[in-house]
Structure 1
Amino acid sequence: MAFPESKLKMLKNITVIALVAFGSPCLGKISSAKPQMGWNTWNTFKSHINQSLIENTASTLVSTGLARAGYEYVVIDEGWQAYTRDANGRQQANSTTFPSGISGVAKYIHKLSLKVGIYSDAGIYDCGFFPGSYGYEELDAKTYASWGVDYLKYDNCGGFQANTLSAQERFTIMGNSLKNSGRDIFYSLCQWGNQFPWFWADQFSDSYRMSGDITSSFAADKSGVCKTAYCLNTGYAGVSVLTMIRKMREISGFQAPGSWADMDMLEIGTGTMTEFEEQTHFSFWAALKSPLIIGADITTISKSSLAILLNKDAIAISQDNAGVAASYLPDLSIEGSVQIWAGPLSTGNSKYVILALNEGQSGVNITIPLNGIFKPENLGARYKARDVWDRKNLGTIESDITLTNVSSHQTKLLVLSRE
């Protein structure tokens, strides 16, 4: 494949793999071979959550088929805590909204063969001024383990004195603590792309946020959002789907099994996008190997949004064994109009994913020459092409792929298999 990958990035990934192979402790990592899938409370409910909401959603993951499709984590974001620690210094659940505590909720979720996630912060306080874990990392990690927690989302708000330490140091401390907790706990960093975590977070986490927070908008950002990955104002901000995709142009080559750049939660089903926009959203999160964490209320989600989340072919691209993210192909793209991305799937030279996104007006025809995607030795072969969202085969392709009448904000998601 003739993808524009940085040799430096490749060497960096090889170095990390070598360190792991020769005995690096990997801190809190549990070696996440594939991007995690699940559901999180924050996008829809913010901190207004309770035990009944969590348990009803967990049951709905099962009844809708989402759990069977791979969405296994039920992540309780900010809002589960009391505002003070208990007499022994431990974080504690709000006894009014979570009468059974987190351990009781975890038991309910585990009986459904699902896993439970929880939220804390690398600062003294979290974003809502509940107690953060700074200075209590070992105690908190052991507490989570005793409750049966399987996943920790670890935020970066409320640093104050804690911010005298680098992000790397604060997040590493919790990684060590999780490692020593006596339980395998998936470690998901939520540091908003601060200090360019694709250079360091894979050494001790299972996933890391590569940007500020997503907002429920396809194209319109909130004020002050930076369009690139390499900027300093990547903090708490409202990043649109299109801008999140734009940022990944620079860093998709860092994706590798073991730690995933997280483009934030899915806004599919939150009611702000067209069906084509939701398909585009899911296409890129899957092909770029971002975690697939649902942010909608799945107890009321529309049939069309649920169908997108359940699309088996799209999920298979996300969970492909190779763990290689698609790359942006500037020579085949037109800035502000058409984006072409492509990447190999686990069968190497015989199977590929191609994305063609129309950013402009509806009714566009897009032609993709295979010589702009494949290396010369792979040209001349015959490929079967499948359109993932239309759920149909496009026949045999030998040179060019022409896609007709592509709507505005629609992405054609294709899988090519060599005959």
Structure 2
Amino acid sequence: MLAVTLSAGPSTAEPTATSDVPLALTPPMGWNNWAHYMCDIDERKVVANADALVSTGLAAKGYDTVTVDDCWMEKQRDTAGNLVVDTAKFPHGMAWLGQYLHARGLKFGIYQDAGHLTCERYPGSGTPDGGGQDNFARDARLFASWKVDYVKMDGCNMWVPPGLTKEQAYRQAYEAVARALRDTGRPMVLSASAPAYFQQGEWGGPDWHRVLGWVGNTGQLWREGKDIKVYKPSAPATSRWSSVLGNYGYNRWLTRYSGPGNWNDPDFLIAGAPGLTDAESRSQVALWAMMAAPFILSSDVGGLTPAGLAALGNTDLIALDQDPMGRQGAVVSAGQAFDVLVRPLANGDRAVAVLNRSAAALDVSVPLADVGLPSCTVTAKDLWTGRSTEVSEALTGRVGAHETAVWRLTPHGCAEPVPTGQLTGDGARCADGQNTTGVGAVVLLPCTGGSDQRWVLEPDRTLRLDGECLSAGEDGAVELAACVGGDGDGGQEGRRWTALRNGTLVEDVSGLCLEAPAPATPPAADGSAPRLRLARCGDHQVNQAWALPV
């Protein structure tokens, strides 16, 4: 397994899965029809939205890939086995569409499926149900002949051969997709939907974590969970905010998988489209930027609200999303009403965002020490207003209902930032070192944003809370104990941890993994919670996966 030190960025797969040319070194940007039009798509609508990207100035700001989703083809292949474009919808064909987009400085994306049928039951590229020859290479060659730049490969209707698990079948299929695209000789970004077909709630199950571990070796981005809620023309005012929060929810814990050429994709941006308020539209753009998520619109671009268009075109937010370090932001503090996220940036700056989930405005104060900048002065630029202020204690402000405040912090003469914040485990609960029964006990409790859940990941690979170290205790329990010596001292046996890319935290001496306990059933009469323990490292056990501050 790939190991990283606690203070370093996560290692990622080589961004050359589908080409000898590095692809998608920053998150892809563009437009896709699905969340607004679904199958009601045709050449006229695609061209109109492409033209709107140009006329609104969004294309010049990076929204340059136009992707046609499901339902563009006939229900049967031709006698030679090739896919057939539905010429009633696309009378000029796909090669012409690619030429049209390229002539306007845009890129051309197309949809297919790694199963034997697409989600809407058009011909897929995968192995037929029951076995037989797949069409990965044939379809890749066809896409290359159309000068396609980007392939969204869905995962519906996958045949699982006898002797393979579902996860193994998906891995074989997506590896074959990547190989077929690479063999064409044309660089094509691959958006792989494999993880979405294994998601089990926000924290996921073992197979979901397995797929997240290998999907970056096939594609440059992957939709790892539920689709964003689609627009319904019959009920245009239906709120879609809960869908935005849901997709943000499963994506926010996956920082370790993201980096240049590999991007977690919480699905489309619908900012400015029906179903979101102006505040909610701004929030989605801010949260997706903090998570280094692809900025792929799925809306009627010509019908975007002025506030949505302004948020999507905010050059400071686009620069944040496209930061070349490619490090996804992490939740460092959370409660029922708020999340605080931090993202390290390539030039040494740090971005900080505060999401207000509630229906009322919140007054917020975020100490600089809580975002890894103790004893520091920074220039804090509000990315919504553009105003900058000098801050030496805390970021403060009033965050409206469903709004997300975002600052870019430029430190002045500060020490190297130290990852600081909550240690999040199974069920999105937090390691808590003070509200416990028993001296030094560490338990898993609902996240509160309190000081008892504020861990510091020191360069010597210790995890510290109020100056004490997370340590191997007796009988497999972990505890808070005095750190031995100073930072960098060689005497921290039982107190050093190695973070692996699969999310496990391994105690160096024993080689055992930090394991989150199941909630007590029924709860203990004294209100105490089960303690965190060390256990033999399992195979992608969800109770051994941890999300760390950055």
**TM-score category (smaller protein):** 0.7 to 0.9
Q: Measure the CA separation in 1 of the matches of 2:88 and 2:197.
A: 35
Deviation at 1:100, TM superposition (A): 1.1
Pairwise CA distance, 1:27: 4.2
1:324 to 322, 327, 335: 327
User: Is the contact made by 1:9 and 1:254 (CA closer than 8 Å) also made in structure 2?
Assistant: no
Checking the alignment, whether the CA contact within 8 Å between 2:17 and 2:220 is kept in structure 1 is: no
Report the 3-state secondary structure (helix = DSSP H, G, I; strand = E; otherwise coil) of the residue aligned with 1:247.
helix
- Partners in 2 of 1:403 and 1:12 — Cα distance? 30
Output the CA distance in 2 between the equivalents of 1:114 and 1:179: 22
**TM-score normalised to the size of structure 2?**
0.66
Q: Are positions 1:295 and 2:294 aligned together?
A: no
Match of 2:300, SS? coil
The residue identity in structure 2 corresponding to 1:171 is Y
Structure 2 match to 1:416: 409
Mapping of 1:41-60 within 5 angstroms?
Answer: 41-60=33-52
Residue 28 of structure 1 and its aligned partner are, at CA, apart by: 4.9
1:308 paired to 2:311:
yes
Q: Aligned pair in 2 of structure 1 residues 193, 256: CA closer, same or farther (>3 Å)? A: farther
Residues 133 and 37 (structure 1), Cα distance of their counterparts in 2 relative to 1, 3 Å cut: same
Q: 1:232 aligns to what?
A: none
Superposed counterparts of 1:31-110, under 5 Å: 31-110=23-102
* 2:226 aligned residue (203, 212, 216): 212
- Measured after TM superposition, the shift of residue 215 of structure 1 is 1.3
- Partner in structure 1 of residue 150 of structure 2: 151
- Of the three residues 278, 290, 304, the one matched with 1:275 is 278
Separation of aligned partners in 2, 1:263 and 1:15: 18
- CA shift for structure 1 position 11: 9.0
CA distance in 1, matches of 2:7, 2:115: 33
Q: CA deviation at 1:10?
A: 8.8
For 1:14, what is the secondary structure of its paired residue? coil
Quote the residue 1:344 is aligned against: 344
SS in 2 for 1:123: coil
- For residues 168-189 of structure 1, give each alpha carbon's deviation from its aligned partner in whole angstroms, at most 9, with x where no partner exists: 1111101000000121111101
> How far off its partner does 1:160 sit?
3.9
Tell me which residue corresponds to 1:26. Answer: 17
1:169–1:11: structure 2 CA closer, same or farther, 3 Å change rule?
farther
Higher helix share goes to which structure? 1
Residues 265 and 201 (structure 1), Cα distance of their counterparts in 2 relative to 1, 3 Å cut: same
CA–CA distance in structure 1, aligned partners of residues 317 and 51 of structure 2: 24
TM-score normalized with structure 1 length: 0.86
| Whole-Å separation in 2 of the counterparts to 1:415 and 1:10 | 21
SS in 2 for 1:299: helix
Q: SS of the residue aligned with 2:301?
A: coil
> Is the Cα–Cα contact under 8 Å of residues 9 and 253 in structure 1 kept in the other structure?
no
Unaligned ranges ≥5, structure 2: 127-133, 199-207, 231-238, 413-550
1:122 aligned partner:
114
Partner Cα distance (2:394, 2:57) in 1: 37
Residue in 2 aligned with 1:236? Answer: none
Q: Is the 8 A contact 1:253 1:327 kept in 2?
A: no
Identity %: 27
The structural deviation recorded for 1:31 is 2.9
User: RMSD of the TM alignment (CA)?
Assistant: 2.1
Q: Distance in 1 between matches of 2:404 and 2:197?
A: 26
User: Using the alignment, how far apart are the partners of 2:159 and 2:7 within structure 1?
Assistant: 36
- Alpha-carbon contact 2:292-2:321 (below 8 Å) kept: yes
CA distance in 1, matches of 2:9, 2:328: 16
Letter in 1 for 2:116: I
1:384 aligns with one of 370, 373, 379: 379
Q: Could you give the per-residue CA deviations for residues 74-103 of structure 1, whole angstroms, max 9, x where no partner exists? A: 000011101111121111110111111100
* Residues paired across the two proteins, number: 379
Secondary structure of the corresponding residue to residue 54 of structure 1: helix
